[in-house]
Amino acid sequence: MSHIVDTNADFPRIPRINEPAPDFEANSTQGPIKLSDYKGKKWVVLFAHPADFTPVCTTEFIGFAKYAEAFDKLNVQLIGISEDSNFSHLAWLANIKQNFGVQIPFPVIDDRAGHVAARFGLIHPSESQTATVRAVFIIDDQGLIRAFIYYPLTTGRSVEEILRVVEALQVADKYKVATPEGWKKGDKVIVPAPATQQAAESRASEGYETTDWYFSKKDLPL
């Protein structure tokens, strides 16, 4: 008999990196959404907020609207979600337009039934029994979860950082490289460390900016 106690048994399993994103169909401020419809077409940034008509969430929505064009250039569909009704979402988006002059260009899902929250582990009961935490799932165009964050209710996210992570993931895919701390477009990238003794010995002569056999950087083509 196993003596291992699963302390998480009562909680839904959170999807992990490189696993397929759980599919869902839901109503949104721009009509019905089926996540798997984006597979083979677009990346998706699915982000949960705790509640409509709250100040931190309002600043985040303004941030996502500010960077919406930049996400679009990276072929990313932004999708918001909370446990509020579609009518509440629509009223809040109109209120943001009225108070801040900002048009929210992305759909926001009505998840009152909690189906999406259950699949993505958006309710953290010790934080709130009813409101979704500030979760972000970055899903690639193959429908795989590539990165995610969970923030508590009181801490607004950096939309610029979310955009930076999408860009870093796309660069890593395209050029088979990694990106260092704080990497931004135009910065040098990390060349994968050599895997054999022979490759390690020849690394210094391969034209990279090499500090040691395991640490090489290079510029990407413009």
Task: In the chain, count H helices and then E strands.
Answer: 6, 10
Minimum distance of ligand BEZ from residue 45's CB (angstroms): 18
125 contributes a contact to ligand BEZ by CB under 6 A = no
51, 70, 144, 169: residue in contact with ligand BEZ (rule CB under 6 A): 51
74 contributes a contact to ligand BEZ by CB under 6 A = no
**Complete edge-to-edge strand list for the sheet that includes strand 25-28:** 33-34, 25-28, 108-110, 76-82, 43-48, 134-139, 145-151
Minimum distance of ligand BEZ from residue 47's CB (angstroms): 13
Task: Give the interface size with ligand BEZ as a residue count (CB under 6 A).
Answer: 8
Structure tokens at 104: 């929210």
Residue 178 among the catalytic residues: no
135 contributes a contact to ligand BEZ by CB under 6 A = no
21, 33, 57, 65: residue in contact with ligand BEZ (rule CB under 6 A): 57
8 Å CB contact between 189 and 175: yes
80 contributes a contact to ligand BEZ by CB under 6 A = no
Query: Quick one: 40 or 55, whose CB is closer to ligand BEZ?
Result: 55
54 contributes a contact to ligand BEZ by CB under 6 A = yes
117 contributes a contact to ligand BEZ by CB under 6 A = no
DSSP state of 63: H
Amino acid at 17: I
Q: Which stretch binds ligand BEZ (CB under 6 A): 33-41, 53-61, 64-72, 74-82?
A: 53-61
Q: List all residues 6 or more positions away from 186 whose beta carbon is below 8 Å from its beta carbon.
A: none
Q: How far apart are CA 177 and CA 193, in angstroms?
A: 10
